[in-house]
Amino acid sequence: MDTSVTIEHVHRDDEGSKLGMWLFIFTELLLFAGLFIVYGVYRYLNPEAFHLAAQQLSVTVGTINTVILLISSATIAMASSAIRLKNKALTLILLATTIIMAVIFMVNKYFEWSAKLEHGFFPSSDILHKLGNGDTLFFGLYFFMTGLHALHIVVGMVLISIVIIRVNKNSLTHENPVLLDNSGLYWHLVDIIWIFLFPLLYLIT
């Protein structure tokens, strides 16, 4: 009879993983801070054009998307708590809700972008060319910053989907919730960036 026992050791560095995520978040904040400064400078140089261009954005859609992201931040935070309470079903429901909120945000963004493109409010269009450089700069920054933010939303959705699969397969539990925690941190970053984008583009006219 073979009595030998094979002990499998899985290396895990939770603290290193969290530190890496915080460093990544810091670099992302620096990136968007640079974009906000660029926006502020161009707005200072083109106050009238930015004022008129900002009025073309829908405050209602921006407000709805803000509420959606705030709700999604709450659900993923609650998912981190639920996994620690060993409530797998609730964790999956909350993570799925976060994904649904993200999809709704992207659908709203799609219709908003489509309307702007349909009306010719995009860089290099004849309409903006006639209006001048200020309007072109505003909508160039609008599409670049909201597009970059949307890309972060998509990355977050992929990350949360991976977490859902791992929770469902019991490879992510209350004993190793770091991936879920880091996904939550990333999602809060996405939320915070939008909290700055919303007033900058939609409210300050």
- The first and second tokens of residue 87, run together, are 């409530």
- Residues 180-202: pLDDT tens digits? 999 999 999 999 999 999 999 99
Give the list of residues 6+ apart from residue 48 with CB closer than 8 angstroms, or none. Answer: 134
Q: Nearest-CA neighbor of 122 among 112, 136, 132?
A: 136
Kindly report whether the global pTM for this prediction surpasses the value 0.85.
yes
Compare 1 and 132 and report the one with higher pLDDT: 132
Helix, strand, or coil (residue 133): helix
CA angle 161-144-73, nearest 5°? 35
In this predicted structure, what is the pLDDT of residue 44? 92
Phi, psi dihedrals of residue 152, rounded to the nearest 5°:
-65, -35
* pLDDT over 50 (residue 1): no
Q: Are 164 and 57 in contact (CB under 8 A)?
A: no
Euclidean distance between CA atoms 35 and 197, whole angstroms: 10
Domain ranges of the chain: 43-203
Output the CATH code of domain 43-203: 1.20.120.80
CA distance 80 to 83: 5
Q: Cα(99)–Cα(93) distance, rounded to whole angstroms?
A: 10
